[in-house]
Amino acid sequence: MAGLNFRRTKQAIVVALFGVMLLAFTACGSGGAKDAENFVQVRTAPANYTIEDLQAIKLKANKQYDVEGLPDGLDAWRGFWGLDPYDRHDYEIRFYPSHELAVSSGQQLAIDATGAEFEAKRDEQVWTEGVKDRWQARGVTDVSSGGSRQAPGPTYQDWAIVGNMVILCDGLDSEQAIIRCASLIDNFLPADES
């Protein structure tokens, strides 16, 4: 009888632990979707920014683009950033003289340079500088396995405009890219401005 009670107690503990883990997993999983759902894709900012402002939060700018042909563009960079130095992500940042010009001149170009739009219009880009960097081979399965293969696709899946900056964010899909845009922006702008 004591053995039976012990087994039932053990089973009850396992079931309870499984339930707690399931709740924790569900809560963690829904956070990203909520972040993407509530993300403000176009927002004003208290100042006009430069690449130096992003470098102050440890963005590693590794390629400056020639902005000739970028309507109203002042500067453009490719870089990578992440809170975890072993988990950084690619960004393309384009700077304009004002928020209004970032929206009027940069928004449609950002749409055309990301996700399915870029895949459809890759050969029809208004600004062709950096097009090669916006297309990459990505692993369909774990690259360490023998069955993995590469499938080309857009580097940047979505975008954001903050003040005078247009930011293209990498990810496997739009939701992941938006979460990465949000993370960069939240760490760049003070809490009361984001």
Structural domain includes residue 99? yes
Predicted confidence band of residue 36 (pLDDT cuts 50, 70, 90)? low
In a domain, 194, yes or no: no
Question: How many structural domains compose the chain?
Answer: 2
- Shared domain check, 93 and 69: yes
User: Per the domain annotation, does 58 fall within a domain?
Assistant: yes
Q: What is the DSSP string of the chain?
A: -HHHHHHHHHHHHHHHHHHHHHHHHHHHHHHHHHHHHH--SEE--SS---HHHHHTTT-EEEEEEP-TTSTT--EEEEEEE-SSTTS-EEEEEEE-SSHHHHHHHHHHHHHHTSHHHHHHHGGG-SS-TTGGGGEEEEESS-TTSTT--EEEEESEEEEEEETTEEEEEE-SSHHHHHHHHHHHHHHHS-TTT-
Residue 193 within any structural domain of the chain: no
- For residue 139, tell me if it sits in a domain: yes
> Same domain for 105 and 46?
yes
Residues 99 and 75 both lie in one domain? yes
> Tens digits of per-residue pLDDT, 165-180?
999 999 999 999 999 9
Q: Are residues 55 and 1 in the same domain?
A: no
Considering the domain architecture, whether residues 28 and 61 belong to the same structural domain is answered as no
15 shares its domain with 48: no
- At 14 the pLDDT is 42
Do 91 and 182 fall within a single domain? Answer: yes
Residues 87 and 139 in one domain: yes
Q: What's the confidence (pLDDT) of residue 18?
A: 42
Domain assignment of residue 96, given as a range: 40-188
Instruction: Give 152-166 pLDDT, tens digit per residue.
Output: 889 999 999 999 999
84 lies in the same domain as 57? yes
